[in-house]
Amino acid sequence: MTTPGEEMHALVERMYPLRRSITGDGVRATLDVVGELLPLEVHEVPTGTQVLDWTVPQEWNVREAWIADPSGRRVVDLADSSLHVLGYSVPVSARMPLSELRPHLHTLPDRPKWVPYRTSYYKPDWGFCLAQETLDALPDGEYEVRIDSTLADGHLTYGEHVVPGQVPDEVLVSSHVCHPALANDNLAGIAVAAFLARSLAGSTPYYTYRFLFAPGTIGAITWLARNAGRVERVKHGLVLACAGDRGSLTYKRSRRGDAEIDRVMRYVLETSGRPHETREFTPYGYDERQFCSPGFDLGVGSLSRTPYAGYPEYHTSADDLDFVTPEAMEDTLAVCREVFAVLDRNRRYVNLSPYGEPQLGRRGLYGALGGRSDAQEAQMAMLWVLSLSDGEHGLLDVAERAGLPFDTVVAAADALHGAGLVKA
């Protein structure tokens, strides 16, 4: 029987060869794969649409791209890896000497076996990415260069999956779907988000959960532009990226720094005993910088393992299927589920008997604890909930201040609510 981690890794493997960019059929194919796991509403936004300070660009698709050496042998070929072509390359069909070709070749001299990931989204250009050792072995002579691509009016594509909650207030989970052949950045994030959404299927959480699968930067900006009138519903959010490498977890706080998601993430990571790091917000990285931009200022943080640009394999061919592990993705998924379990139950209560301590025994609340190994802890949780149920403190405040497990505090609040001593 396969584990969730193994299933997520298999999903990453399926998406890995698809030729993704910020637009085009590779994004659609990726969303089709995700759509096999959960229903997606797919949106197509036409080229030229004004989205905040940006404009939706032309759609790019590439069918083949290769370089043939003087003997006719293809020394670089898109068929071998979708990293081999510069993203958004304009069409090329030409013959040229190596000296003329070299300025269009991108390598990593300090990592001679790796192929870099490079793009030219907003400046017309063309090029190839290859290993330095491949470039070093190229003989002088005339080369044939072919990039069969189209850059034409089309659409920007993104997908959404919504889990309806008891209230219209939303938790936004976002992952970018634009990078080709990079397993950790961000196929692992897509896989964890999809399985997180699937884990909520059939449930009725308190919050409405919105899962966004969109191209980086321009996709998030497009979503914000199209949802500006209802974005105030987003009360909490999390950007998932680099979710599958062997590093320990890293959480980047929201721009606010004290949003509820920041507090919940800190609590879950600290009480779990997992090695982790918490970083302050910076306006650089993934799409948390769009959601946290001052005009929106949403409470959105970012969860990764080794963070943005923090590992040598980042944006290279070494970010491959062996770089991500089932165990790491399963651990990231587990943390997300724990975080949302806390977030979804972090209510504020009002004590309905606030003058003096109410008599718990005659309401059967002490009796309900009989035989429990944690009876004393549960009793203290009730007293703490009563003490802090002033409409200003949530159950996470109680757990942190009392040093009690969050689940114990929730159980105490449920018991007190059932006895008519507190109301949400």
Residue ranges of the binding site for Zn(2+): 179, 185, 315
Could you give the residue ranges of the DSSP H alpha helices within 80-138?
A: 98-101, 132-136
Query: What is the C-alpha separation between 333 and 196, in angstroms, rounded?
Result: 7
Q: How far from chain centre, in Å, is Cα 105?
A: 31
* Lookup: tokens for 81: 């890896």
Count CA atoms closer than 13 A to 215's CA, side-chain side: 25
Check: CB of residue 147 under 8 Å from CB of residue 92.
yes
**Is 59 in a helix, a strand, or coil?**
strand
- Residue ranges of the annotated binding site are 179, 185, 315
- Give the bridge partners for 45, in sequence order: 156
Closest CA to 202 of 24, 379, 313, 38: 38
- Read off the amino acid at residue 326: P
Helices assigned H by DSSP within 88-213: 98-101, 132-136, 189-199
Q: Which long-range contacts (CB under 8 A, 24 or more apart) does 362-365 make?
A: 363/419, 363/421, 364/419, 365/415, 365/416, 365/419
